[in-house]
Amino acid sequence: MADEGTSRRMVLGGAGAMGLAMVAAPVAGQQQGGAAGPPAGLKDPRTKYTKQPFPEQRQPWPALASKMTPRPDHGESSYRGSGRLAGRKALLTGADSGIGRAAAIAFAREGADVAINYYPTEEPDAKEVVDLIRQAGRKAVAIPADIRTEAACRKLVAQAAEGLGGLDILVNNAAYQQSKADISEISDEQMVRTFETNIFAMFRISKAAIPLMPAGSVIINTGSVNSYDPGEELLDYASTKGAILIFTKGLAKQLAKKGIRVNMVAPGPIWTPLQVAGGQLPGQMGEFGQDTPLGRAGQPAELASLYVMLASDDASFSTGTSVGAHGGKGSP
C-alpha cells in the first residue's frame, strides 16, 4: 500500500495532466478551425476598396463629394457606434466631406452632439452630414464660414459652444491644397491662402476653444504624410502640414497641465474633394494612391475609427502623438 505522500503526488499529477489536456483541447480546436478558412468578416485591406485608377476629373474649388466619380465612402452605411463618445460635444472643421465628414458621422453614432464647419459653397454636402447626425439621434449644428480670419475663427467657436451647450472635442481638419510642379508657379495669393486655412485657422480656433474646454477634453489635428515626407508638387501645403506636426506636439505639452490632450492624424492618399479641386497635377489622377504598398488610395471611412479612438477616454495616456493612415508608405 502506497504511503499518503505518494498517493497525493499521483492524484495531483493526474489532475495536472487533465488540466493540460483541457488547456490543449481548445488550442487544437482553434487550429482545426483555422485550417477551415479565415473568420467571417475578415477583409483583405488590399481589396476592401477599389484598386482601379480614378478617372481624370476636375471640379472648381472646393468641390463636392456628391459629384465625384466614384463617390467617396465616409462610412455612411458601414460605421457602427458603441457609445464610446456618449454625451460629448464636438466641433469639426471641414466636415461637409472627406475625412471631416467621416469623423462627424462616427462621432454622432458614438453618442456625441456635433457641430460642423464648412465653406459656404459646400452646403449641399453639409446638409447630408447634418441629416446623418440627426438620424443617429444626436444634435447637429451647421456653421458655414470661411475661417481665414481671426474674427471668423472666434465666431465659429462661440457658435459651436452655444449650439452644443459646451465643447470638449475639437477637430481641426479644414485644409486648402493646390498642386504645382514648380515653386515659380505658386502665387503669393495661393501661399497665403494655404497658410491662412491650414495653420493660422488651427491656431486661432484652438486658442478660442481652449478656455471653454474642461479637463478630459481633446483636440485632434489633421496632419499628413507630408508632415514628414513632403511631396515636391505640394511645397506650400506640405510646409503647413509640417507646422501642424510641431504645433500639435508643442500644444500638447502646454495643455497637459490643463488635462487636455492634443494629437494628430497623418493621412496618406485619401479620396476626398481636395484631390479633384486642384490637389493633383493635371493628368495624374489615375496615379493617385497606386504607389502605396496596399496598391490603392484610402477612403475617408477608413480613418473614422482613428479619430474616435483619439477622442475617447480609451486613449487617455496619448497626447502629443501622431497616428498614420497611409497604406504603408509614410510616417509615422
Rounded mean pLDDT, 167-188: 98
Report whether pLDDT(7) > 60: no
Report whether pLDDT(215) > 80: yes
Q: What integer pLDDT is reported at residue 325 of this predicted model? A: 94
Q: What integer pLDDT is reported at residue 12 of this predicted model? A: 40
Report whether pLDDT(10) > 80: no
Question: Which residues have C-beta within 8 Å of that of residue 220, sequence separation ≥ 6?
Answer: 169, 170, 171, 172, 262, 263, 264, 265, 307, 310, 311
The answer to whether residue 237 is catalytic is yes
Q: Could you tell me if 300 and 99 are in contact, meaning their C-beta atoms sit under 8 angstroms apart? A: yes
| Burial 207-237, CB ≥16 within 10 A → b, else e | ebbbebbeeebbbbbbbbbbbbebeebbbbb
Rounded mean pLDDT, 254-279: 96
Q: What integer pLDDT is reported at residue 39 of this predicted model? A: 86
Report whether pLDDT(11) > 50: no
pLDDT band for position 332 (cuts 50, 70, 90): confident
Report whether pLDDT(24) > 60: no
Per CATH, which fold does 65-325 belong to? Rossmann fold (3.40.50)
Report whether pLDDT(13) > 50: no
Task: Determine the Cα–Cα distance for residues 332 and 330; give it in Å rounded to an integer.
Answer: 6
Catalytic-role residue among 79, 176, 237, 307: 237
Report whether pLDDT(241) > 60: yes
Any idea what DSSP says for residue 169? E
Q: At what angle do helices 98-109 and 304-311 cross, to 10 degrees?
A: 50
Q: What integer pLDDT is reported at residue 330 of this predicted model? A: 82
Report whether pLDDT(3) > 70: no
pLDDT band for position 134 (cuts 50, 70, 90): very high
Q: At what angle do helices 201-209 and 235-255 cross, to 10 degrees?
A: 20
* Percent of the chain's residues with pLDDT above 90: 86
What is the sign, positive or negative, of the torsion defined by CA atoms of 50, 329, 94, 160? positive
Helix H or strand E segment including 292: none
Residues in the chain: 332
pLDDT band for position 35 (cuts 50, 70, 90): low
Alpha helices in 115-187 (DSSP H): 123-135, 150-164
pTM of structure: 0.88
Mean pLDDT of the chain: 91
Rounded mean pLDDT, 240-251: 98
Report whether pLDDT(1) > 60: no
Pairing mode of beta strands 261-267, 218-222: parallel
Q: Is 77 left (phi over 0), alpha (psi -120 to 50) or beta?
A: alpha
Q: What integer pLDDT is reported at residue 218 of this predicted model? A: 98
Set of cell numbers at residue 3: 504511503
Helix H or strand E segment including 274: helix 273-274
Set of cell numbers at residue 277: 479641386
Q: What share of the chain is helix, strand, coil (3-state, %, to 5)?
A: 45, 10, 40
Rounded mean pLDDT, 22-36: 47
Task: Determine the Cα–Cα distance for residues 20 and 62; give it in Å rounded to an integer.
Answer: 64
- List strands edge to edge, sheet with 261-267: 140-144, 113-118, 89-92, 169-172, 218-222, 261-267, 322-325
Report whether pLDDT(157) > 60: yes
Cell numbers 472643421 label which residue? 93
DSSP string, 26-73: HHHHHHHHHHT-SPTT---TTTSS--SPPPP---STT--GGGSSSPPP
Q: Could you tell me if 244 and 71 are in contact, meaning their C-beta atoms sit under 8 angstroms apart? A: no
Q: What integer pLDDT is reported at residue 40 of this predicted model? A: 82
Any idea what DSSP says for residue 85? T
Q: What integer pLDDT is reported at residue 26 of this predicted model? A: 45
Task: Determine the Cα–Cα distance for residues 231 and 225; give it in Å rounded to an integer.
Answer: 9
Q: What integer pLDDT is reported at residue 42 of this predicted model? A: 93
Rounded mean pLDDT, 45-64: 94
Q: So where are the chain's domains?
A: 65-325
Cell numbers 481671426 label which residue? 150
